[in-house]
A and B are shown apart, each in its own frame.
Chain A
Amino acid sequence: MMFLRSCSLAVRCSCFRKPRITIRPFSASWTARKNAAENALDLDVWKSVMRSQALQEESKSPNQSTLEANRELVEMWHQAGKFVPKNITDEQLEALTELTTKSAKKKYLKFLAIKESYKITKKEKQERRKSEREADGEFNREEPKNSFLLKIWSSSMDCLHSWRVAQAMRFGQPLVYDMSYNQHMSRREMENTVAQLMESEGWNRRAADPFHLHFCGLQPDSAYHRELLNRYGSHTWDQLLITATERSHVELFPQQDLVYLTADSQHVLHTFDHSKVYIIGAMVDRSIHSGVSLANAKRLKLATARLPLDEYLDWDCGAKNLTLDQMIRILSTRKDTGSWQKALEFVPKRKHGGFHQQSRGVTRTTKSRFIRNDSSEIHVPALVQSHRKNKTDGHKKQQEPKKWWEDRD
């Protein structure tokens, strides 16, 4: 590795932080000096030691490429304790060289460093879990029991979900993702968008009554298409139970049925209309493009609407535009339950300070459930069950019944 070669002999022989050092050519004189230093303070001893460790090979080629220069810079930054990745691939290095400004380079390196540290912690966690499993593997082997049902495997769940989505493709309400924002997004924004699209598709598949998803205006070989294929894999992509089309939403649906959902709209979506086709712009906006989707809707003369966020929530901070997966969870909850309170549970909690206090008026139960940080009444069993229904999160589903039994006994 380059990093090792660049360092001193001592590093090559042993580890950086280990206090004990192995044999080196000058060790005799060095120990002698050490003894001397004990008596008289030799302040410059480090200089002679470091000088003796000079790089052996003098292979400093004068005309090195910018790629190499960048690699060395990243290495030295790592040694200087800056937040940059320890290892960098050639591809990443090329992307780095293409960036022109210093701040862009630093930002990209920080991004890579964060990614690297996630990877490392994940690996560590996996290994820890593996060793734990090996440790108590013998005790935990369960005996086969008499059971009424076979174990429900995830494949059987998949089958059920696919059935539901297939039904939705024939009879379900359409929901359109407008994929015409290619030129408005950087590479990273595009990657984020596709990640959010995948997540939305996943949530939709698991919904009790899924939408019929349309990816409209998806040009073949556009950045969207490439990234989707890359993430899903072409096999899965072809089997996906959604409608992906090059045609735009105005060609597929009558214009009066379409409603473009955008946070810039002046109209509030008070009621969810089951006969309308709602459009969500498939765009992640990390910079400041305001009014892009509103301009799109204006151009096509479509009706627009925004979610009633201000009407229900004490908005705190953060932009009113939500991620694509949050949008689909809100819409499908609203569609299934008819309640905005339940639907807007999916707005990130950091963005608001809870629901408006007016909602207290209806009944006691709704109050306790939807005012933030108020879980005192959740002990009532009936409440827990209705509470559970809303939670689509897998982990919580498994944990909560246990808690309920504990509390009851």
Chain B
Amino acid sequence: MMGSLVVLKSRTCIKHLCTSWVVNPLYLRPALACLPQQNIVHAVRFIINPHTQYYSTKGDEQAHGRVAKEKGFTPRTRPAFPNSVFTAGTARRTAEYMKKRAGVDTEELSNNTPSRGRGSVKVTLPDHPLTTSEWAKFKESSSKPDRFEMHMMEGLLAANADINIAKSLLAYVVQDKGTLSYELLLRYLTLCVTGGHHSEVFDTYDIMRTCFKTLDTGASSLFIKGFSQTERWREALEVLEGMKKALLPSPRNYSDAIAGAALHGDAGTSWMLYDELLELGLVPNQDTWQCLFQSGITQRGQEDKLFSVLSYMRDNQIYPEEPLIKTVKAWFESLPDQKWSGKFSFVVPSGECTNCKASLESIQLTEEEYAELKDKVMKKVIEGSDIFKKTTPEELKGFKSFVKQRPPFDIVIDGLNVANTTPKAAHSETLLAVVSELQQQGLNILVLGRKHMLQPSRNWDRQNMSKIKQKAHCFFTENISEDDPFLLYAALHSGVHCNFLSRDLMRDHKACLPDSATRRLFFKWQRGHQLVISHYVPGKRVRFQRISAYDTIVQTSGSSWHIPYDENRGDRATYEVPQKWLCLTQDH
């Protein structure tokens, strides 16, 4: 009941996250499954940066006690404690949990509806090649005679049937109609390529080349894929060249061509294609990298290029998936005279790798990055194309002078977001509790809100509001203005030590930024500076989730490499970062 009430009010996904914590105390349990030795210390405090700040002081005894009491609430598969909202898999787990609470069994649903792909045509298929007359008879008995051969071919493709059956079908069609349609040949080609019948691919290629003016993208892609596995792989490059006339080839096409070159030991061509791919602004896929690293194992002399791949991943914040990371590990270990050894490991919240004990790169931005981000947020997020969309010029001016007149803040609070944390208390009470908790720690606080909060009502008590005003600086925007951009600006303006408190993931504001590099910068800053209330029950201590102290990105210190990777593809939402690492060190 309570949960649904909050859901109704919520704007973004993170609010759903929080409701589950409100209801289910299991989520608060510091079950740091991965690092038992750190258990108590790290659950209690939050290491933010060199200036360590303690945001919560109460132990976990209460939480532990409640676990036993409310076991009935527990979902069967107990989710691990989410380190932060940015941890990979948190969003998916929460969504599943919410569904279970709502009484929908996700697995049952997915089982009952079988995937109806293109090939799942309900037809009876012959199990051996038929003669012409047998096919004719078969066609007469079928329910849909108009596109009979297409249905048959699709059925054969879906069933991964013997190629001779398909050939006999073609023989029948060519005798019945005198020719074959492009569409039918295309289906047949798909069958050949997926089945790996190389000589058939060659024959079909010759026929299609002579009978039709050009090839469409589908046929070209199939030929590239088919050819690259054979000794005629160079012809795949010609097909690729032909594709470029009308359309940009896809990363998949390049991936196949690169795999063809790498498979046949022509590393030069594969790197040339890779460079071309990057030049076109396409993002290489994981298979491309995997076959490049694979060829690096067998063929020396590509080290520089492969290291540049790793730095490409770093620059674009791409994380390898599991098959790729295994190949990367194997490649490092195969390097002669360097004695690399790789281990899959974790990183503890303070930013230390559990394997090599080295500390990882800090999440703090450099000064230039910080200045750039501040500038971009001001120009793109707040002002944007039309300043009236989010605020008014007068209001912005007032806010700027307000911020300037006050000393830098330590923490900026999104008042409305925080006030909505729990439905159990009036909004102003929740906000007051959070503000006093932070004030006791001697922080300089800014509370952002809207003017309607000053109107006394059931939720906004006048006394509470005046207490808040005593404890913190407050700024109230117009009711139709957006408060989040002001929050971002105030936090950025105060300097690197300033954090902000909100459950909002700020995805819409991130989307306002002009390019992906700035968006990554924003995300890095956000991970390092966003505090989230993990748990709040009226009358109890406010608890916050930890801010990570290290950056999750491919990184090296010369003698070691740390590469985060995706353990399970599709488990991670776009605003989350992986938790697993590959730690590579050199033995001396």
Contacts and interface: CB of A to CB of B under 8 A. Distances in A.
B132 A34 contact: yes
Contacts of A14: 178
Given A38-B131, A295-B389, A69 B210 contact: no
A291 to B, nearest CB: 5
A80 interface: yes
A296 B170 CA distance: 64
A41 B203 contact: no
B480 interface: yes
A96 to B, nearest CB: 10
Contact of A69 (B203, B246, B248): B246
B246 A72 contact: yes
B215 A76 contact: yes
Interface string A275-317: 0000000000000001110111011000000000000000000
Interface stretch (B51-59, B60-68, B81-89, B216-224): B216-224
Contacts of B176: 19
Contacts of A250: none
Contact of B181 (A53, A79, A82): A79
A54 B210 contact: yes
Interface in A95-131: 101-102, 105
B212 A70 contact: no
A239 B178 CA distance: 61
A11 B179 contact: yes
A16 B146 CA distance: 12
A299 B389 CA distance: 9
A11 B211 CA distance: 12
B181 A21 contact: no
B238 to A, nearest CB: 13
A240 interface: no
A76 B183 CA distance: 9
A298 B392 contact: yes
A405 B322 CA distance: 74
Nearest to A71: B246
A238 B219 CA distance: 54
Interface residues of B, number: 48
A317 to B, nearest CB: 15
Interface stretch (A44-52, A325-333, A366-374): A44-52
Contact of A79 (B171, B175, B212, B390): B212
Contacts of A10: 177-179
A43 B177 contact: no
B129 interface: yes
B245 A66 contact: yes
A16 B175 CA distance: 14
A265 to B, nearest CB: 8
A312 to B, nearest CB: 20
Interface in A32-78: 34, 37-38, 41-47, 49-51, 53-55, 60, 64, 66, 69-70, 72-73, 75-77
A55 B219 contact: no
A6 B129 CA distance: 31
A318 interface: no
Interface in A128-148: none
B159 to A, nearest CB: 19
A72 B174 CA distance: 25
Interface in B128-145: 129, 131-133
B73 interface: no
A173 interface: no
Interface in B148-180: 150, 164, 167-168, 170-171, 173-180
Contact of A105 (B175, B247, B392, B479): B247
B179 A49 contact: yes
Contacts of A8: 179, 211
A54 B211 contact: yes
Contacts of B182: 76, 79-80
A45 to B, nearest CB: 5
B213 interface: yes
Contacts of A82: 216
Nearest to B164: A43
Given A44-B167, A66-B246, A76 B177 contact: no
B183 A43 contact: no
Given A38-B133, A43-B129, A105-B247, A50 B180 contact: yes
A386 interface: no
A8 B180 CA distance: 9
Contacts of A105: 247
A25 interface: no
Nearest to A304: B480
B216 A16 contact: no
A266 interface: yes
A36 to B, nearest CB: 11
B213 A45 contact: no
Interface of B: 129, 131-133, 146, 150, 164, 167-168, 170-171, 173-183, 186, 203, 206-207, 210-219, 245-248, 250, 386, 388-390, 392, 479-480
Interface of A: 6-8, 10-11, 14, 16-19, 21, 24, 34, 37-38, 41-47, 49-51, 53-55, 60, 64, 66, 69-70, 72-73, 75-77, 79-82, 101-102, 105, 266, 290-292, 294-296, 298-299
* 10 nearest CB pairs, A to B: A295-B388, A76-B216, A54-B210, A79-B182, A43-B167, A69-B245, A46-B174, A21-B178, A69-B246, A10-B178
Given A49-B174, A77-B217, A81-B150, 19 more contacts: A10-B177, A10-B178, A11-B179, A21-B178, A37-B175, A41-B129, A43-B129, A45-B171, A50-B174, A51-B206, A60-B213, A69-B246, A73-B214, A73-B217, A81-B183, A102-B247, A102-B250, A295-B389, A298-B480
26 contacts: A8-B179, A10-B177, A19-B176, A34-B132, A43-B168, A44-B171, A44-B203, A50-B211, A51-B206, A51-B210, A53-B211, A54-B211, A55-B212, A60-B213, A70-B246, A72-B246, A73-B246, A76-B212, A76-B213, A76-B216, A77-B217, A79-B181, A79-B212, A82-B216, A294-B389, A298-B480
